[in-house]
Amino acid sequence: MRPLLLALGLLLLAGCASKPRFEPAPLKKIADAQVRVEPGWKADVGSLAGSTALRPLIAAGRVFTADAQGRLQARDADGALLWERETEQRLGAGPALVDGQLIVGGRDGTLAAFAATDGEPRWQRLLSSEIGTLPAGDERLLVVKTEDGRVHALDPADGRTRWVVPLTVPPLTWRGNAALALLDDVVLVGTATGRVKALAINDGALAWEQSIAEPSGRSEVERLVDVDADLLLAGPVVVASSSAGSTKVLRRDSGLPLWERGLGGYVQPAIDENCLYVVDAQDAVHCLEPSSGAAQWAQEQLGYRRLTAPAAYRGNVVLGDSEGYAHVLSTADGRIIGRARLGRAPLQWVGPAPDGEGLLALARDGRLQRFVVEPQATAE
């Protein structure tokens, strides 16, 4: 428990000693806006209590959400509520879709499954400590990481434990919540020690591991190297980014690095045919050539605005910020070509809408909003 308490204390300290001590960069007027951001429907999905692992799940043309007070909701593509379920749990992560079930994790360590069709309870299991990491899985296996550093593998049908693997937890961490991922026959885990580990699905044995960043510096804070950003699975490669400022592209079969760059941050990268988009710790947005890592452009006008993970959308890249703005960047050169304020609360997630024709943004106050990015009308 002591490492976790220290980690919580450091999280508060880091909140004062790193990002928050810098004022967000003031927004500059867009001289030549090429797109407009058009807001759509809104919905209140409940309090998130600061958890970034409570995030929308888009599946089967629906939007599934969970709030910190234990409420599960399902909506259609137009935002209409289809069903709602009170789980009577304080939640910290989810939902994830595994074998037709919605999986959520509780602050007390309870992992629970509900039918995706109507929210009917299926099963629940009490694990070793708080769950603040998004679960993952398929019909073969359900995996989740608890705050004490254990990776739990369970049978998705009934929640019975298959295996448990303890990971090293440093005395001080960022208490990150990067999601686990299943890839082929391994479970991929980003760790607080700056590594990616691949654990065999059948028994949790170590298949391979790769260092993303090594500790350096004199103080414990300077030596933090957590892989806090969700891993990006992109065809034959895995992209991992460390809070210490390092991004590596690994072979999915062996973990061997193909290339690396000395920049990284706290949010998952994104990729399209032109760019691997990486948001660094200072909230500069970088476009790297996917096959080599060569720098194509960098957008630094959004510094310290606590950007969300980027979302590639119709030839542009879209990010939310801590003042409720959605920013649209050109993939060609990184110029900011559109912007709109969706609300006052910080945005903490931007992703695709169920119909594929728009985007969704989740704000820290629990407001979920659909929006579209359209070409700017030109004067006749």
User: Which has the higher per-residue pLDDT, 201 or 12?
Assistant: 201
**353 contacts 58 by C-beta, under 8 angstroms:** yes
Task: Return the pLDDT at 292.
Answer: 96
In what order do the strands lie in the sheet containing 57-59? 57-59, 62-66, 71-75, 81-86
Distance CA(13)–CA(207), nearest Å, equals 36
Task: Return the pLDDT at 14.
Answer: 38
Q: What is the pLDDT of residues 132-177, one digit of tens each?
A: 999 999 999 999 999 999 999 999 999 999 999 999 887 666 656 7
**288 contacts 294 by C-beta, under 8 angstroms:** yes
Q: What is the pLDDT of residues 265-324, one digit of tens each?
A: 999 999 999 999 999 999 999 999 999 999 999 999 999 999 999 999 999 999 999 999
Task: Return the pLDDT at 172.
Answer: 66
In what order do the strands lie in the sheet containing 316-320? 311-313, 316-320, 325-330, 336-341
Its sign, for the CA torsion 69, 232, 63, 302, is: positive
Distance CA(132)–CA(179), nearest Å, equals 9
Task: Return the pLDDT at 171.
Answer: 67
Task: Please state the domain extents for the chain.
Answer: 23-47+277-380
Task: Return the pLDDT at 281.
Answer: 92
**45 contacts 362 by C-beta, under 8 angstroms:** yes
Burial class from Cβ neighbours inside 10 Å (0-12, 13-18, 19+) for residue 139 reads exposed
Model's pTM, two decimal places?
A: 0.92
Residue 267, CB-side half-sphere exposure with 13 Å CA sphere: 27
Residues 6+ away with beta carbon under 8 Å from 3: 169, 170, 171, 172, 173
Task: Return the pLDDT at 204.
Answer: 98
CATH fold, domain 23-47+277-380, is: Methylamine Dehydrogenase; Chain H (2.130.10)
Secondary structure (H, E, C), 322-352: CCCEEEEEECCCCCEEEEEECCCCCEEEEEE
Q: How many CB atoms lie within 10 A of CB 372?
A: 16
Task: Return the pLDDT at 21.
Answer: 56
Q: How many CB atoms lie within 10 A of CB 84?
A: 12
Compute the mean pLDDT over every residue in the chain, rounded to the nearest whole number. Answer: 91
Res. 334: pLDDT tops 70: yes
Q: What is the pLDDT of residues 74-127, one digit of tens each?
A: 999 999 999 999 999 999 999 999 999 999 999 999 999 999 999 999 999 999
**370 contacts 358 by C-beta, under 8 angstroms:** yes
Residues 6+ away with beta carbon under 8 Å from 306: 19, 24, 283, 321, 322, 346
Q: What is the pLDDT of residues 174-188, one digit of tens each?
A: 656 789 999 999 999
Task: Return the pLDDT at 165.
Answer: 98
- In degrees, rounded to 5, the angle at the alpha carbon of residue 330 between the alpha carbons of residues 327 and 334 is 90
